[in-house]
Amino acid sequence: MYLKADGVEKTSNISELNFQKTLPKHVKRRMREIKGSIGRIYLKNEYRNKKEEERFQNKVFNGLMEMISNNDHI
């Protein structure tokens, strides 16, 4: 029914609604408690920051390598 009607939520689980996706059962158990929810949000944020840092480092490295190969640094 929710696939056809607008405004009807796919799930009644509040934590799933916040993340906009259906979560696996082991995550649902963890999300029942505030401590578990905060931990999950913290870890997702740390993972996102790590990925952004890796992308930035790759971009800087690739820029330096391109500059060196084109002799633009001289």
Residue at 1 is within a domain: no
Domain count, the chain: 1
Residue at 24 is within a domain: yes
Burial of 15 (0-12, 13-18, 19+ CB in 10 A): middle
DSSP string, 4-38: TSTT--S---HHHHHHTSPPPHHHHHHHTSHHHHH
Q: Mind listing the pLDDT tens digit of every residue in the chain (74 residues)?
A: 445 666 666 666 666 666 666 677 777 777 777 888 788 889 889 999 999 999 999 998 888 888 888 875 55
Instruction: Please tell me the predicted confidence (pLDDT) of residue 4.
Output: 63
Whether the model clears a pTM of 0.85, i.e. scores above it, the answer is no
Instruction: Please tell me the predicted confidence (pLDDT) of residue 5.
Output: 60
Residue at 4 is within a domain: no
What is the domain extent for residue 20? 14-69
Residue at 50 is within a domain: yes
